[in-house]
Amino acid sequence: MHEDITYRPARDLAQMLREREISAREVVSAHLERIEAVDPEVNAVVTLCADRAMEEARDADERIARGADVGPLHGLPIAHKDTHDTAGVRTTYGSPVYSDHVPERDDLIVERIRAAGAITIGKTNTPEFAAGSHTFNPVFGTTRNPYDTTRSAGGSSGGAAAALAAGLHTLADGSDMGGSLRNPASFTNVVGLRPSPGRVPQSPDPLAWSTLSVQGPMARDVSDLALLLSVIAGPDPRSPIAVQEPGSVFADPLDIDLRGLRVAWTPDLGGAFTCERAVLDTLAPQLRVFTELGCEVTEDAPDLSGADEVFRTLRAWVFEAKLGGLLDSDRDRLKPSVVWNIEEGRRLTGADLGRAERLHTRIFHRVREFFEHYDVLLLPVSQVVPFDASLEYPADIDGAVQETYLDWMRSSYCISITGCPALAVPAGFTPGGLPVGLQVVGPHLAERRVLAVGHAFEQATAFGLRRPQL
List, for residues 53-81, the tens digit of each pLDDT value.
999 999 999 999 999 999 999 999 999 99
How many CB atoms lie under 10 A from the CB of residue 370?
19
Alpha-carbon gap, residue 92 to 140, rounded angstroms:
10
Report angle CA 305, 358, 198 to the nearest 5 degrees.
95
405 pLDDT tier (thresholds 50, 70, 90): confident
Polymer length in residues for the chain: 470
pLDDT of residue 404: 87
User: DSSP letter at 196?
Assistant: P
Q: What is the DSSP pairing of strand 214-219 with strand 191-194?
A: antiparallel
State residue 148 phi and psi, 5-degree precision. -165, 100
Q: What is the DSSP pairing of strand 262-265 with strand 376-380?
A: parallel
Report angle CA 189, 368, 382 to the nearest 5 degrees.
25
**Three-state secondary-structure class, residue 385:** coil
State residue 151 phi and psi, 5-degree precision. -110, 160
Alpha-carbon gap, residue 28 to 75, rounded angstroms:
8
The mean pLDDT value of the chain amounts to 97
**Three-state secondary-structure class, residue 394:** coil
Q: Encode pLDDT of 423-451 as tens digits.
A: 999 999 999 999 999 999 999 999 999 99
Domain spans of the chain, in order of start: 2-465
Alpha-carbon gap, residue 92 to 129, rounded angstroms:
9
Q: Encode pLDDT of 240-279 as tens digits.
A: 999 999 999 999 999 999 999 999 999 999 999 999 999 9
Q: Encode pLDDT of 130-183 as tens digits.
A: 999 999 999 999 999 999 999 999 999 999 999 999 999 999 999 999 999 999
What residues are annotated to the active site?
Answer: 81, 156, 180
pLDDT of residue 297: 98
State residue 37 phi and psi, 5-degree precision. -80, -40
Q: Cβ contacts of residue 194 below 8 Å, gap of 6+?
A: 176, 179, 181, 182, 214, 216, 415, 416, 421, 422, 423
Question: What percentage of the chain has pLDDT greater than the value 70?
Answer: 100
CB of 297 closer than 8 Å to CB of 330:
no
pLDDT of residue 124: 98
CB of 437 closer than 8 Å to CB of 185:
yes
Mean pLDDT of 5-20: 98
Q: Which CATH superfamily is domain 2-465 in?
A: Amidase signature (AS) domain (3.90.1300.10)
How much is the pTM?
A: 0.98
CB of 274 closer than 8 Å to CB of 407:
no
CB of 244 closer than 8 Å to CB of 440:
no
pLDDT of residue 80: 98
